[in-house]
């Protein structure tokens, strides 16, 4: 029974592996270039896939009930990314709705795939005054149509140019509201019907950001061009240069409101949407002196990235924070700008226990619902373990008459205690010294002997070269070269075995001034606090003096330790001498 069960399990695993290994066909997707149009306008329905072998044949008779299919074409876009060729295959249909209403484009079978249903809202054609329509005219629309409009908050400006005949030498002036910033987002050509007449339309969507409250005027925009006409005598008569036309739109006046009194935030950030998230580089724990990177990500709708303000951090105990230069970009979806900004911080814990990346709160104004909101980024706790590097204890000079460490409780020998013991030791060391001197003289008399250079000598020469490079880089203010030379010195000649980074070396240093300079040097590329220049954050000459003073003190300390051991055998230190 058990064998049969094991056999069934192995069979199921094999079948599952086979299913997973099978290539997955790229699905066909359906998209509309607009979800809302007016009777008489056209809409583009696109079917696309990234599988170049996909069969795009389909039966579109289900569309003819609600649409006229005016055009059908296909295209393939090839690209090479990272040495790999990719393809996007598109099938495009130009559709004209037959009536107003919410029209559903049903799921369609494209090859072996079925697309999802789509809905397009078709508004009735606007009522027009009696009389003939001009061959060219401009429509202007403000979004949202009912306001309110706030300072620095995006409002949409839609400009549509209607023309019946071919229009050449066309030029339209840009919207110039003042004071405001204008950004062109999207330009879309399509067809529409006005007053029973068929028009070609060029639609432009702009984002407008008022710079101060009060009255904002959008002056009329002018269109100039020539209408290309044909002679009526023959349809084969070639086109000739037509008559020049000039039309302009109506001026628009808007009331821009200032920051509401009920907004309690220190920085005014109006947006339709505002989201704050984070990414943390470390896991659940790290060690003292090891940095963790916290990336705060803010995404907005209706607010450009240059208007996104850096969140304020509360005080973080027992940690140092090094902010990086923020990175941001502004895109758009054709109607609204999309702001994206990232703030990176290197946080270095200085004490074991728990490091809490604090909660961040940002006040912003919801322009869709006309109310104040607060975006909250939750705090995150990280366990901090002791550093793997244990600094040497501070060397304090002994006071006169003080007992050296380890001497407490040891009996002091007097001149009358056991002088013979020390005399025997003296004779032994003196004999060893005489034997050593005799051997040295014997070797010297034999002539020069080839001597292999010790690693210590090579290391000493290389260390001086590295220190010279560090001194030169510090004198030139070359922060990157100084950091590189110091890192090489730490790895080869540093005081700690296995130490490979400036950050670990800084955790070992007890001199607070030198440690601060090391941390500043290691944070190359990080942004200084607001209003502070980069040059004032790290001074190469001052750093070299601090480092060289520390290094010489360390060398002197090691020499003094060596001397104290050697002097035990000196005649003046021997008891009874």
d(CA 160, CA 164): 13
136-257 and 270-385, same CATH topology: yes
Contacts of 39 (CB under 8 A, 6+ apart): 97, 99, 100, 122, 123, 124, 125, 193
Residue 440: pLDDT over 80: no
Q: What value does the mean pLDDT take over residues 512-526?
A: 75
Are 395 and 404 within 8 A, CB to CB?
A: no
Of 97-111, 506-520, 530-544, give the lowest mean pLDDT range.
Answer: 530-544
> What 3-state class would DSSP assign to 566?
helix
Contacts of 76 (CB under 8 A, 6+ apart): 52, 87, 88, 89, 90
d(CA 284, CA 534): 33
| Residue that has been written with the tokens 């030029």 in this structure | 171
Residue 574: C-alpha distances to residues 405, 413, 434, 559 (Å):
20, 12, 17, 21
Residue 519: pLDDT over 90: no
Contacts of 121 (CB under 8 A, 6+ apart): 35, 36, 37, 101, 102, 103
> What 3-state class would DSSP assign to 414?
coil
d(CA 529, CA 515): 19
> Structure tokens of 249?
């739109």
Q: What value does the mean pLDDT take over residues 38-51?
A: 85
pLDDT, position 183? 94
pLDDT, position 464? 82
> What 3-state class would DSSP assign to 116?
coil
d(CA 267, CA 181): 19
pLDDT, position 311? 96
Contacts of 254 (CB under 8 A, 6+ apart): 142, 147, 149, 155, 210, 215, 216, 217, 218
Q: Residue 428: which pLDDT band, with cuts at 50, 70 and 90?
A: low
> What 3-state class would DSSP assign to 2?
helix
Q: What is the DSSP letter of 433?
A: H
d(CA 503, CA 524): 12
Distance of alpha carbon 440 from its chain centroid, rounded?
A: 67
Class of domain 29-123: mainly beta
d(CA 96, CA 133): 21
> What 3-state class would DSSP assign to 176?
coil
Measure the N-to-C terminal CA separation of the chain; round to a whole number of Å: 94
**More reliable by pLDDT, 451 or 109:** 109
Domain chopping of the chain, boundaries:
29-123, 136-257, 270-385, 461-565
Distance of alpha carbon 23 from its chain centroid, rounded?
A: 34
Are 39 and 127 within 8 A, CB to CB?
A: no
Q: Give domain 136-257's CATH architecture.
A: Sandwich (2.60)
Q: Residue 404: which pLDDT band, with cuts at 50, 70 and 90?
A: very low
Residue 377: pLDDT over 50: yes
Q: What value does the mean pLDDT take over residues 39-48?
A: 85
The size of the chain, in residues, is 577
Q: Residue 558: which pLDDT band, with cuts at 50, 70 and 90?
A: confident
**More reliable by pLDDT, 163 or 396:** 163
**More reliable by pLDDT, 295 or 529:** 295
Q: What is the DSSP letter of 10?
A: H
Residue 130: pLDDT over 50: yes
**Residue-wise pLDDT tens digits, 157-202:** 999 999 987 887 788 999 999 889 999 999 999 999 887 888 999 9
Residue 570: pLDDT over 70: no
- Reference 102, options 185, 187, 39; nearest CA is 39
Residue 47: pLDDT over 60: yes
pLDDT, position 449? 38
Q: What is the mean pLDDT of the chain?
A: 78
Q: Residue 478: which pLDDT band, with cuts at 50, 70 and 90?
A: confident
Residue 276 CB neighbour total at 10 angstroms: 19
| C-alpha dihedral sign at 64, 66, 70, 74 | negative
pLDDT, position 555? 83
Are 159 and 140 within 8 A, CB to CB?
A: yes
Burial of 193 from C-beta contacts in 10 A (0-12 / 13-18 / 19+): middle
pLDDT, position 442? 54
> Structure tokens of 473?
């880089």
Q: Which residues pair with 511 in a beta bridge?
A: none
**More reliable by pLDDT, 20 or 81:** 81
Residue 329: pLDDT over 90: yes
Q: What value does the mean pLDDT take over residues 509-516?
A: 84
Are 285 and 384 within 8 A, CB to CB?
A: yes
> Structure tokens of 510?
């007890």
* Radius of gyration, CA atoms only, the chain: 40
Residue 469: pLDDT over 70: yes
Highest mean pLDDT among 17-26, 144-153, 484-493: 144-153
3-state secondary structure 475-533: HHCCHHHHHHHHHHHHHHHCCCCCCCCHHHHHHHCCCHHHHHHHHHHHCCCECCCCCCC
pLDDT, position 124? 87
> Structure tokens of 476?
């030139």
> What 3-state class would DSSP assign to 136?
strand
> Structure tokens of 408?
């407490």
Q: Residue 393: which pLDDT band, with cuts at 50, 70 and 90?
A: very low
- Reference 288, options 391, 392, 395; nearest CA is 391
**Residue-wise pLDDT tens digits, 526-539:** 444 444 444 446 78
Q: E strand or H helix at 43, and its extent? A: strand 43-49
> Structure tokens of 485?
């030379």
> Structure tokens of 4?
């049969």
pLDDT above 90 coverage of the chain, percent: 39
> Roughly what angle, to the nearest 10 degrees, separates helices 479-493 and 540-566?
20
Q: What value does the mean pLDDT take over residues 144-155?
A: 93
3-state secondary structure 188-226: EEEEEEECCEEEEEEEEEEEEEECCCEEEEECCCEEEEE
**Residue-wise pLDDT tens digits, 15-33:** 454 444 444 445 889 999 9
The CATH number of the structural domain formed by 270-385 is 2.60.40
pLDDT, position 517? 84
Q: Residue 212: which pLDDT band, with cuts at 50, 70 and 90?
A: very high
């Amino acid at each position: 029974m058990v064998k049969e069960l094991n056999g069934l399990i192995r069979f199921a695993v094999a079948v599952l592996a086979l299913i997973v290994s099978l290539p997955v066909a790229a699905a066909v997707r359906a998209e509309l270039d607009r979800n809302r149009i007016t009777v008489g306008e056209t809409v583009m329905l696109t079917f696309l896939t990234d599988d170049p072998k996909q069969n795009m044949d389909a039966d579109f008779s289900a569309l003819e009930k609600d649409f006229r299919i005016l055009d059908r074409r296909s295209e393939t876009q090839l690209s090479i990314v990272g040495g790999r060729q990719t393809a996007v295959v598109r099938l495009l249909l130009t559709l004209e709705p037959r009536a107003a209403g919410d029209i559903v484009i049903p799921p369609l079978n494209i090859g072996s795939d079925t697309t999802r249903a789509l809905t397009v809202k078709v508004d009735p054609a606007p009522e027009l005054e009696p009389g003939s329509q001009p061959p060219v005219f401009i429509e202007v629309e403000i979004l949202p149509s009912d306001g309110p409009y706030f300072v620095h908050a995006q409002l949409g400006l839609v400009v549509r140019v209607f023309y019946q005949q071919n229009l050449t030498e066309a030029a339209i002036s840009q919207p110039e509201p003042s004071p405001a910033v204008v950004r062109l987002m999207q330009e879309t050509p399509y067809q529409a019907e006005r007053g029973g007449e068929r028009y070609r339309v060029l639609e432009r969507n702009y984002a407008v950001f008022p710079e101060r409250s009060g009255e904002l005027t959008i002056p009329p925009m002018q269109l100039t061009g020539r209408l290309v006409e044909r002679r009526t005598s023959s349809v084969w008569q070639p086109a000739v240069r037509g008559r020049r036309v000039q039309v302009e739109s109506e001026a628009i006046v808007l009331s821009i409101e200032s920051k509401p009194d009920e907004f309690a935030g220190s920085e005014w950030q109006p947006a339709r949407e505002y989201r704050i998230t984070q990414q943390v580089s470390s896991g659940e724990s790290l060690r003292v002196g090891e940095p963790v990177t916290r990336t705060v990500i803010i995404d907005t709708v209706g607010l450009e990235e240059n208007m996104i303000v850096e969140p304020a951090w509360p005080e973080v105990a027992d940690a140092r924070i090094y902010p990086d230069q923020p990175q941001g970009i502004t895109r758009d979806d054709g109607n609204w700008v999309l702001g994206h900004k990232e703030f990176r911080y290197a946080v270095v814990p200085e004490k074991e226990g728990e490091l809490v990346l604090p909660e961040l709160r940002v006040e912003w104004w919801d322009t869709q619902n006309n109310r104040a909101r607060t975006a909250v980024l939750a705090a995150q706790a990280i366990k901090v373990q002791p550093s793997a590097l244990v600094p040497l204890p501070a060397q304090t000079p002994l006071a006169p008459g003080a007992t050296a460490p380890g001497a407490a409780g040891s009996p002091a020998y007097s001149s009358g205690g056991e002088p013979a013991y020390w005399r025997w030791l003296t004779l032994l060391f003196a004999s060893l010294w005489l034997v050593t001197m005799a051997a040295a003289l014997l070797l010297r008399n034999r002539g020069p002997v080839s001597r292999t250079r010790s690693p210590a000598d090579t290391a000493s020469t290389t260390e001086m070269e590295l220190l010279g490079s560090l001194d030169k880089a510090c004198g030139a203010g070359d922060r990157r070269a100084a950091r590189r030379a110091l890192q090489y010195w730490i790895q080869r000649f540093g005081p700690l075995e296995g130490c490979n980074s400036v950050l670990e070396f800084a955790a070992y240093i007890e001199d607070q001034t030198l440690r601060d300079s090391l941390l500043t040097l290691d944070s190359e590329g990080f942004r200084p606090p607001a209003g502070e220049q980069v040059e004032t954050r790290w001074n190469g000459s001052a750093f070299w003096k601090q480092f060289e003073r520390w290094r010489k003190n360390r060398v002197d300390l090691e020499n003094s330790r060596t001397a104290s051991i050697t002097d035990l055998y000196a005649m003046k230190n021997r008891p009874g001498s």
